[in-house]
Amino acid sequence: MGVSTVVTQRTAGLGTPSWVRRLGWATLLANIAIVITGGAVRLSGSGLGCPTWPRCTDKSFTPHGALDLHSAIEFGNRTLTFVLTAIAVATFVSALSTGRSDLRRLALLLGLSVPAQAFLGGMTVLTDLNPWVVSFHLLFSMGIISLAVLYLHRTSQDGRASIEASARSRPRTHTLAWATWAVAWVVLAMGTVVTGSGPHAGDVTAPRNGLDPLQVSQLHADLVFLLVGLTVALVIVHSSLVTWTLLVVELAQGLVGFVQYFTDLPVVLVGLHLLGASVLMAVVTQTVISVREG
């Protein structure tokens, strides 16, 4: 048996429904993990542990010459890009093996997001952790999570069936679901603004956005109330496991947010809130898909 035959058989194996779905889950969980590890870099004050990019120091891609805890944390987060790359390549190969164009396109976008995200990470370092660049870096990650949820959903659906289900969806419910998704994005965006005005800059020398933390926190809270209200309405008109899950996630995330605010932003709770934001984006995306495609 030739090498090419073995390779063909192995790549074909990646195209089986079970492997396609496993890699879909791996893609989603890996992108949530990179958000958490990125948060750990910031919350530990290690954002400039590697003070330049793409190298860690002016002379080396690794911090071996000046290794300390901050540089180790930052460099460790950078090396996770290779894990994401491996998962993205395997996911794309599995999508190719299915012969489905919808999975192929989504897997390609997910793959291209890896170097794009690495570039944005580099820009945060080169701009000395500019809070607006850091905010965009996080929101880009949320976009990848949303895309990964769509990919995972499609792995268990026939593309044509999804389109037909979408055509049968109720317009008002459909609009309400999209409005909930859009407000969730605004809530997350405002959350990054709140973070940019607060104490967790990622480095003691990093700038803040200059906004009043009290005022932006109040606006963020008001938007959360709007999001919860829209979700309650969605539960009423489209009661399902996913819409109820979304409501529970929002309430839990809101509770963590209020507690962390009134306890002076302890890093453990801020990290938990960041995990909640990732889960919220995943669930709200699944909610839209569920309402739209059934």
pLDDT number for residue 158: 62
Measured between alpha carbons, how far is 159 from 24 in angstroms, rounded to an integer? 16
Q: How far is CA 180 from the centre of its chain?
A: 18
pLDDT number for residue 222: 97
Rounded to 5 degrees, what are φ and ψ at 50? -110, 105
Residue whose token pair is 């932006």 = 216
Cβ distance 194 to 258 under 8 Å? no
Q: What is the full per-residue pLDDT of the chain (294 aa) written as tens digits?
A: 443 444 444 555 677 888 999 999 999 999 999 999 999 998 998 888 888 898 888 778 887 665 678 888 888 888 899 999 999 999 999 999 998 999 999 999 999 999 999 999 999 999 999 999 999 999 999 999 999 999 999 998 765 455 455 555 577 899 999 999 999 999 999 999 999 998 888 887 888 999 999 999 999 999 999 999 999 999 999 999 999 999 999 999 999 999 999 999 999 999 999 999 999 999 999 999 999 875
pLDDT number for residue 275: 96
Which contiguous run of DSSP H or E holds residue 281? helix 267-293
Query: Which tokens in the block code for residue 162?
Result: 């999804």
pLDDT number for residue 5: 46
Domain boundaries, the chain: 1-156, 159-294
pLDDT number for residue 10: 52
pLDDT number for residue 3: 39
